[in-house]
Amino acid sequence: MKLRSFIALEIPTEIQRAILHSTAPLQKILLKPVVRWVERQNLHLTLKFLGDVSPENLEQLADVLKAELVTYESFTMSVAGLGGFPSSRRPRIIWVGLEAPAALSTLQNGVDKITARMGYPLEERPFSPHLTIGRVGQGVTQADIVRIRAAIEAMTIENLGIVHVDAVRIFKSDLRPGGPVYTPLYTLPIKPF
């Protein structure tokens, strides 16, 4: 049996709640099916999507990452800003931003290189740190896009808090009718401050 898996940074519950509270007006304006909102407990920063992986390969990957990630420095990042990908003019993803030091890109690049040595493909897109809070529905009209863009542009999200990054986690993702359920499988510490 294979497990749909990814490597990510966990976002503390208090920051998740602050995101939910600050984006509640947006969620009231943009209802399903126009936007599918991410459940609070599923907010995370993906460093690497792995796909379907056997439990044995995940364990081996966790061992390699654990041995190498202890050389990376802990850091903090702040949560602020709002936007859309690929742009706020034509968003497919609605996100809350992260203001992070270069250490975050160094960590993500390191994870990508470590997993590439184990046979996982390197990321093709440049790393753009964000927390996905919503996904625009597939059947949206041009009027919906205009409404989404106007809602994003009308809202400002100031600093919602600081995230202390001292570990990377490997999660499994179970796709269910009510939405995905993410379960942490491995916690891989990085060097403390």
pLDDT digits (tens, 9 = 90+) for 119-166: 999 999 899 999 999 999 988 999 999 999 999 999 999 999 999 999
Give residue 179's pLDDT.
84
Give residue 89's pLDDT.
83
Give residue 178's pLDDT.
82
pLDDT digits (tens, 9 = 90+) for 42-90: 999 999 999 999 999 999 999 999 999 999 999 999 999 999 999 888 8
Give residue 90's pLDDT.
87
Task: Kindly tell me if the per-residue pLDDT of 91 is higher than 70.
Answer: yes
Domains of the chain: 3-189 (3.90.1140.10)
DSSP per residue, 18-63? HHHHHHHHHHHHS-TTTEEEPPGGG-EEEEEEEEEE-HHHHHHHHH
Q: What is the pTM of this model?
A: 0.93
Give residue 193's pLDDT.
66
**Cross-sheet strand order for the sheet of 162-165:** 35-37, 130-136, 93-99, 75-85, 162-165
